[in-house]
Amino acid sequence: MKGQIQEFTDAVISIGRHPSSHLRFPVDLASISRQHAEIIREGNQFKLVDHSTNGTFVNGKRITEILLKNGDVITFAEEGGPKVSFLIQTKEGLSETPGLPSQPSFREEPEERIRMEGRSRPSAVRERPLEVPVQSTKIPLIIQYGPTLRSFKELPITIGRSSKCHFRLEHPSIMEHHAQIFFSQNQYWIKDLTGKGSLLINRNPINLQSPLKLHDDISLGPQGPIFRFIGEGRLVEVSEPRFEEPSPPPLSKKERIPEPDAEVKSPERRSSLFKKIFR
């Protein structure tokens, strides 16, 4: 059942071992309650409510109820229990029923390419910040790579091909010790351990280390895997980095062409995405 994808259209999604549950776990998985939790759509938001005996956790913290955010990792029952990755996708060209939010589903990767966000062309190399000392800090980090979800409770961690790395990646573009992620000055940082400029953020090499900003794309080498930082210590693998070409300069008054009436488009539809990982 690992990596299974499911989609739902209901306003309330029930989760548990009961046969009527929308997201149903195996009957012999005793740590999961028959009616473990439910996800309730409220406008464009999704609220997770726990009804279980052994608890429901979001990003490692036990909850009673919480509004879910894009990229949240839900663990059912206890550490090592089944995990679900909650992601958001926007679908265009679909009419939406008034009063009902978008359609939740289970999916492997968040579709963030259609997010309307202005981003200017980055400079060739990020300006080098003052070097920040790396210290041990108890703070969560979650990495999604393919069908794998890895959770860490303490930083720093190292990423590379070496068996001594906390997060090991078998990839020809990855070096033995490629990168280090740590937390300092109330933000997450990444450090290049290659000494060869083989760590890129938004397609540009960094100088030794750099703070991570929301929606930064981290490339581990020119041909290596790419991860997107979606905030709150969460990294998800993406197929290609985000990049937006700069807008052309505005036309002069003489060059402007009258625009036709704008085409009426059907409203966009936002959908939530989940990825279920059983252990």
Domains and CATH numbers, the chain: 12-109+271-277 (2.60.200.20), 141-238 (2.60.200.20)
* 227, pLDDT greater than 70: yes
pLDDT attached to residue 79: 67
pTM for this entry: 0.50
Q: pLDDT tens, 8-43?
A: 667 888 999 998 888 888 888 889 999 999 998 888
* Out of 226-230, 240-244, 267-271, least confident range: 267-271
* 154, pLDDT greater than 90: yes
pLDDT attached to residue 197: 86
Tell me the CA distances in angstroms from 75 to 15, 90, 179, one per residue in order.
12, 25, 27
Residue 104 one-letter amino acid: P
Gap between the Cα atoms of 206 and 123, Å rounded: 11
Range 216-240 average pLDDT: 92
The residue with greater pLDDT, 265 or 156, is: 156
Range 124-142 average pLDDT: 75
Give the model's confidence band at 118: pLDDT under 50 very low, under 70 low, under 90 confident, else very high: very low
Is the separation of the CB atoms in 199 and 212 below 8 Å? no
- DSSP H helical ranges for the chain: none
Range 158-184 average pLDDT: 94
Gap between the Cα atoms of 278 and 85, Å rounded: 12
* 269, pLDDT greater than 60: no
Comparing CA positions, the residue from 177, 190, 178 lying closest to residue 132 is: 190
- How many Å separate Cα 133 from the centre of its chain? 27
Comparing CA positions, the residue from 161, 121, 149 lying closest to residue 233 is: 149
Range 203-209 average pLDDT: 89
* Out of 93-97, 112-116, 212-216, least confident range: 112-116
Comparing CA positions, the residue from 202, 222, 225, 200 lying closest to residue 214 is: 202
- How many Å separate Cα 4 from the centre of its chain? 17
Give the model's confidence band at 156: pLDDT under 50 very low, under 70 low, under 90 confident, else very high: very high
Is the separation of the CB atoms in 32 and 16 below 8 Å? yes
The residue with greater pLDDT, 129 or 62, is: 62
pLDDT attached to residue 3: 57
Range 65-85 average pLDDT: 85
Share above pLDDT 70 across residues of the chain, in percent, rounded to a whole number: 67
In terms of average pLDDT, the best of 80-89, 106-115, 195-204, 260-269 is: 195-204
Please state, rounded to an integer, the average pLDDT across all residues of the chain: 77
Is the separation of the CB atoms in 166 and 159 below 8 Å? yes
Residues near 29 by beta carbon (within 8 Å), at least 6 away in sequence? 17, 82
Range 129-140 average pLDDT: 84
Return the ∠ at Cα 167 (arms to 162 and 169), rounded to 5°. 60
pLDDT attached to residue 51: 93
pLDDT attached to residue 249: 54
Is the separation of the CB atoms in 236 and 152 below 8 Å? no
Across the beta sheet with 187-192, the strand order is 167-168, 157-160, 179-184, 187-192, 209-211
